[in-house]
Amino acid sequence: MNKHLDEDNDQLYQKMREGLDELDELFPSATPDPAFFQSIVSETTKRTKKRIRYELFAFWGVSLVVLSTLYFIQTQAPAFYFVIQGLSILALVFILAKRWVGNHDTNT
């Protein structure tokens, strides 16, 4: 009985192979040129480098403005600078306390 199943499987495999070969003849498929994929990779790399460069310069610009402003405030109006620093610390404590109380209430 196993021999009969093996013969049937072999015949089925042969017919499937013939059918697939006919499909390949009717609808030939071309393998894409590796240069096509290389161009896609290089294009993506260029765009990524350009975006990273833009983000880096934007970060530097914003940092320069913020640090310059803080330095100016510290040297020209130190009392105002210390008020800003105190308020930022209080805001941080308030946010952390609110988050801690919110987590504490949901756990019980």
pLDDT at position 92 is 94
- Contact present, 48 and 56 (Cβ < 8 Å): no
pLDDT of 107 above 70: no
- In this structure, the number of other CB atoms found within 10 A of the CB of residue 104 comes to 9
pLDDT for res 15: 92
43: left (phi over 0), alpha (psi -120 to 50) or beta: alpha
* Domain locations along the chain: 2-27+34-100
**H or E element that contains 62:** helix 34-76
Give dist(CA 48, CA 103) in Å, integer: 40
What pLDDT, on the 0 to 100 scale, is given for residue 53? 97
| pLDDT given at position 26 | 86
Reported in sequence order, the residue ranges of 12-58 that DSSP labels E, i.e. its strands, are none
pLDDT of residue 105: 62
Count how many Cα atoms sit within 13 Å of the Cα of residue 97 in the half-sphere of its side chain.
6
Q: Please answer whether residues 84 and 73 qualify as being in contact, where contact means their C-beta atoms are separated by less than 8 angstroms.
A: yes
- The string of pLDDT tens digits covering residues 5-64 is 778 888 999 999 999 988 888 887 777 888 999 999 999 999 999 999 999 999 999 999
Name the pTM for this structure.
Answer: 0.48
Length of the chain: 108
pLDDT tens for each residue of 51-97:
999 999 999 999 999 999 988 888 888 888 889 889 999 999 999 99
